[in-house]
Chains A and B, each alone.
Chain A
Amino acid sequence: MDFSLNPDQAAIVAAIDRLAQQFEQMPTGFDGFVLPGDELEKELELAQYFDLAAVPELGPVAAALAIERLSRLPCTVEVALSMLLRPAINPEWPRPVATVEQGRPGRFVATAKTLVLIDAESVSVAHPGGNDVEAVESLYAYPMGRVTGEPAREKMTTEQAARTRTLLRIACAAEMAGLLQAAIDATVEHLTVRKQFGRPLGTFQALRHRMAECAVLAGGVKNLALKAAYTGDAGDAALAALQAQHSASRVVYDVHQMFGAMGMTLEMPLHLWTYRMKALLSELGGRGAQAAAVAQHYFAVTK
């Protein structure tokens, strides 16, 4: 049991942190629903960071840490599936990679080169052409899209499908961990500078306790995501995704309460994290499905 990073992991985490720092700032006058990170994506491609999990000294733990860090940025890039799913299932898949569940709109679907299509128990893969997908306007702070055509699908084996679900759960938890942390950080800043009744909001115990509870949840999600990335175990992945979705539903509500009316405006960046969390909340069947997976793995209850 050792929570420290090996020298290679520490170096790549530091490098990704340096890169991320260049993209911390919001563009002046931004008031959109989503902030695409096209420049960040180019940098990640150039440095071959999407493939870092395949490096034995780095592995999925480094990928999970990278996903967590990059998810804290206001801009968004398809990172999680490329870094965790693609190296494990098929490193030859072109990216971006997106999931489509039960035919519904999904994140990054309009620009994806690889689609993972989940229909009930069946999981298949497709590589869409330009006419197979289209963008969808949405409140979510991801570029959303849907499948409009009939791209050729290759059905995964049962084992591949199970492995894919496990990796998707780990990716969801790692991404959620970053979003939770960023939303909390932004809210702490707001509570520190915003004064009411003559003192900073952050001095009121009612708000302090709620934020502290949010922080405990967020730290727990990160730990569980890292452990799941390390073990690759289906049970660990289900626990991590369950805690991620459970925590997010609580934290999203609380941080918006803390921001008051300011959090409703697109001029404040809060939605760039909370509406990404809302998109992740329903993925992979939501909390009910993650709980069922936990019950199956840890309690041997399948119904």
Chain B
Amino acid sequence: MNFDWSKEQQEFRNTVKAFLAANLPDNWEQMAHGPGSASQTEFSKQFCGALAKAGLLIPHWPKQWGGQDADHWSSFILAEEMWAAGEPRGGQYMNVNWIGPTLMLFGSAAQQQAYIPPMARGETLWCQGFSEPGAGSDLASLRTRADKHGANYRINGQKIWTSYAGHADTCFLLARTGDSKKDISIFLLPMDTEGITVREIPSIIGEGDIHEVFFDDVEIASDAMLGEEGQAWEIVRKALSMERVGLPRFALASKVLHRAVESLKKLDQCTPGAMEQASKALAACESARLYSYHIVDQRCRGELPGPETSAARFATVTAERLVSEFVVEHVPDALAGGDPMLLVHHQRGIVAGIASGAAEIQLNLIASNLLELPREPR
């Protein structure tokens, strides 16, 4: 057991930090509050292009696709530093984490050639067409349909809460191709296809982050399907296994916590009560960090991540919440013209227990798969 970073890992982290220091503009922290906004989407394309040229966008991808075959620690260290900086990759983090690798496994040669190289160059933004008004945690009940129409599919339906949809080039879309629960397929759908309407939903989590997407008789060629008809669950399961650890939210939470305490020091307001709260939040951040590291370590050794991944996710949600509560209580100007990174953290933190599977779903998974409690009747 060893809790030290290797020389190579430390050097890699330093390289990423140096890149961030050199490439983030002075007004980055003001810009970072709208991850799906036009300004950040534009900046992210430029930033990811520079990351790609520096060999830091996809180090963990296979060499065949422009990567360096780096291990899971590289992608996680990269993710930690990016998230702690306010995620200047914007929505492109999804490309490098799971959309690209999923296309490598299940895409046709034509799909791979069309979509993977632009991701590797940092030029393209995707959105994830999963949730619907009637299908959130219960994703299998989704109703958007893709019906055979000659050589094409015709798509009708609605997605909601879709991040980045306003500026996305392509949608990773789940649609029903039959009536049974398992008859769901995946389409790689260009967002400029006729019949797609995107409406941004104003939200408390930042500009341009969540949307409704409507599909009205959207015609798409059959070769836009990823894998085979009805293969969506197999593909999604595999894709999610690449995202198992979740975002390293604890990295930004911990950084923000330290900044919040520094601001209290200047005001001489580090009361014992405030510091006890800050210390508990820090302990939660470090607990989440070690949970995540444990899972990355398992993946590096080729072990299949188990139910501990849900525990890591819940520990991260807890850390986000405690830091957010601390900031709102002790540095209230964070939400009223104060330090912009505290606002960024607050807005990102709101979704921590909801995006990528509600925290309560994770608790159920922990109860069933880690504690092995008897399952609920359905």
Which A residues contact B (CB, under 8 angstroms)?
Answer: 1-6, 9, 61, 184, 188, 191-192, 199-200, 202-205, 208-209, 211-213, 215-216, 219-221, 223-224, 226-227, 230-231, 238-239, 242-243, 246, 287-288, 290-292, 294-295, 298-299, 301, 303
Contact = CB atoms under 8 A, between A and B. Distances in A.
B371 interface: yes
B279 A226 contact: no
Given A5-B1, A224-B287, A215 B297 contact: no
Given A208-B363, A212-B363, A203 B315 contact: no
Interface string B259-287: 00100010000101001101110111011
B297 A301 contact: no
B318 A212 contact: no
A6 B283 CA distance: 27
A205 B308 CA distance: 19
Interface stretch (B3-11, B54-62, B349-357): B3-11
B46 to A, nearest CB: 32
B278 A295 contact: yes
Given A1-B2, A192-B374, A242 B283 contact: yes
A291 B364 contact: no
Given A211-B371, A226-B1, A3 B294 contact: yes
A298 B282 contact: yes
Contact of B377 (A1, A192, A203, A301): A203
Nearest to A238: B279
A199 B279 contact: no
A159 B131 CA distance: 58
B300 to A, nearest CB: 9
A208 B372 CA distance: 10
A295 B290 CA distance: 20
Q: Which of A221, A224, A298 has the most CB of B within 10 A?
A: A298
Nearest to A239: B283
Identify whether the interface residues of A are mostly helix, strand, loop, or mixed.
helix
Nearest to A61: B1
Given A211-B371, A223-B287, A3 B297 contact: yes
Q: Which of A4, A205, A295 has the most CB of B within 10 A?
A: A295
A288 B272 contact: yes
B370 interface: yes
Contact of A188 (B261, B308, B371): B371
Contacts, number: 157
Contact of B275 (A192, A209, A239, A291): A291
Contacts of A227: 3, 290
B283 A219 contact: no
Interface string B201-217: 00000000000000000
A277 to B, nearest CB: 17
Contacts of B275: 291-292, 295, 299, 301
24 contacts: A1-B293, A6-B1, A199-B377, A200-B373, A203-B373, A205-B364, A208-B367, A209-B360, A213-B363, A226-B1, A230-B2, A239-B282, A239-B283, A243-B283, A288-B272, A288-B276, A291-B276, A295-B278, A295-B279, A298-B258, A298-B279, A299-B275, A299-B279, A301-B270
Nearest to A10: B1
B3 A220 contact: no
A223 B290 contact: yes
B286 to A, nearest CB: 5
Nearest to B265: A301
Contacts of B294: 3, 223
A291 B279 contact: yes
Interface string B167-197: 0000000000000000000000000000000
Interface string B1-28: 1111110010000000000000000000
A191 B374 CA distance: 8
A4 B2 CA distance: 8
Given A230-B2, A291-B279, A301-B270, A3 B293 contact: yes
A224 B278 contact: no
A89 B4 CA distance: 24
Query: Closest 7 interchain pairs by CB?
Result: A220-B287, A294-B279, A208-B367, A202-B373, A212-B366, A291-B279, A223-B290
A212 B1 contact: no
Given A212-B370, A223-B290, A230-B1, 9 more contacts: A1-B2, A1-B297, A9-B1, A203-B374, A205-B376, A208-B364, A216-B315, A242-B280, A246-B280
A1 B3 contact: yes
Nearest to A208: B367
Contact of A216 (B276, B286, B314): B314
Given A288-B276, A291-B275, A301-B265, A208 B373 contact: yes
Contact of B366 (A215, A246, A295): A215
Given A4-B1, A208-B364, A216-B318, A200 B286 contact: no
B168 to A, nearest CB: 34
A205 B361 CA distance: 11
B301 interface: yes
Contacts of B298: 3
A215 B374 contact: no
B149 to A, nearest CB: 42
A249 to B, nearest CB: 11
B297 A4 contact: yes
B39 to A, nearest CB: 34
Contacts of A303: 270, 272
A239 B286 contact: yes
B375 interface: yes
